[in-house]
Amino acid sequence: MMSAEPGTPHLVTIALDASGSWGCGTFVEEAWLTLPRSEPIKDMHITVKELAPAMIAAVIWGRNWRGKNVLAYYDSAPAVALVNQEMREMCRPCN
């Protein structure tokens, strides 16, 4: 179990993975889901497939994440680089 500094928002931990041929899955706190590969994304790059479970998790559980820090575990360096790049772009106006 992780503990946070007093006064910091709760940490939500999610683990995500995708397969080029089977589908994707995510584990969020005590909930999880797996989905077979859908026809619309079957020919997309594996990085897109790696990001799909994060988007699905956000749609399903995202309302519970408001005001919390989300820590995502990926096994894909390109997916991590893309998420980090997007976060930098989103936070640029804040600096």
User: Where do the domains of the chain lie?
Assistant: 71-95
Which has the closest alpha carbon to 28: 11, 8, 50? 11
Q: Summarize the confidence of residues 5-19 as an average pLDDT.
A: 74
> What 3-state DSSP class applies to 49?
helix
Give me the pLDDT at residue 83, please. Answer: 76
Q: Is the pLDDT of residue 95 over 60?
A: no
Q: Tell whether pTM > 0.85.
A: no
Give me the pLDDT at residue 42, please. Answer: 75
Give me the pLDDT at residue 28, please. Answer: 84
Q: What angle do CA 61, 41, 26 make, to 5 degrees?
A: 30
Alpha-carbon distance of 19 to 22, in angstroms, equals 5
Which has the closest alpha carbon to 13: 52, 87, 64? 64
Q: Is the pLDDT of residue 65 over 60?
A: yes
Kindly give, in sequence order, each residue whose CB lies less than 8 Å from that of residue 73, ignoring residues fewer than 6 positions away. 13, 14, 15, 16
